[in-house]
Amino acid sequence: MLLHLDHLNIVVSSLEEATRFFLLLGFREGIAAPLDSGFLGRVTGIPGANGRFCALHHPGSQLSIELLEFADGPAPEAGIGEANRIGLRHLAFAVDDIDAEVARLTAAGVTFLSPVQTWKTTGKKLVYFLGPDGILLELAQYPKHPEAV
């Protein structure tokens, strides 16, 4: 039986750049280490694969993010940040004040895909933005009345 979600893995082209980005979002760095080709090859089924990873933890969540950089890995896929692609599409972060967070991240150079939008059905405010290598992320602010979501 599954106990809970443990972590989310994100493959990146630059471990340092991606780590800095998630630190900007309030994550804290955990273990970081190289992964030898024997281990990583067995886990992934990619013979000779090697790389480095960094675990990141957010104080508001039990779910960690593990960033993984493969040595000589493929370039980021075109269109990876587009919402209509098949597969895992985005990671969403709940915030108390979406406008303040958008302003803070915009000042730090983060790219947003639109102004903040409000879903009329629930009053939820949301906005998509791009992370390292163009991965799609979301900020979400829920209305004060939980029954509305």
The answer to whether residues 102 and 139 touch, using CB atoms and an 8 Å cutoff, is: yes
45 or 129: which carries more pLDDT confidence?
129
Query: Residue range 15-23: average pLDDT?
Result: 97
Where does 7-70 sit in CATH, by number?
3.10.180.10
b/e burial code for range 16-26 (CB count within 10 A of at least 16 → b): eebbebbeebe
Whether the pLDDT of residue 148 is over 70: the answer is no
User: What average pLDDT does the structure give for the chain?
Assistant: 90
pLDDT band at 149 (very low <50, low <70, confident <90, very high): very low
| Predicted pLDDT at 147 | 54
Strand bridging mode 51-57 / 28-35:
antiparallel
pLDDT tens digits, residue range 111-144?
A: 999 999 999 999 999 999 999 999 999 999 999 8
pLDDT band at 86 (very low <50, low <70, confident <90, very high): confident
Least confident of 5-14, 15-24, 67-76: 67-76
Where does 91-148 sit in CATH, by number?
3.10.180.10
Segments making up each domain of the chain, as ranges? 7-70, 91-148
The answer to whether residues 124 and 138 touch, using CB atoms and an 8 Å cutoff, is: no
Least confident of 11-25, 39-53, 75-89, 102-116: 75-89
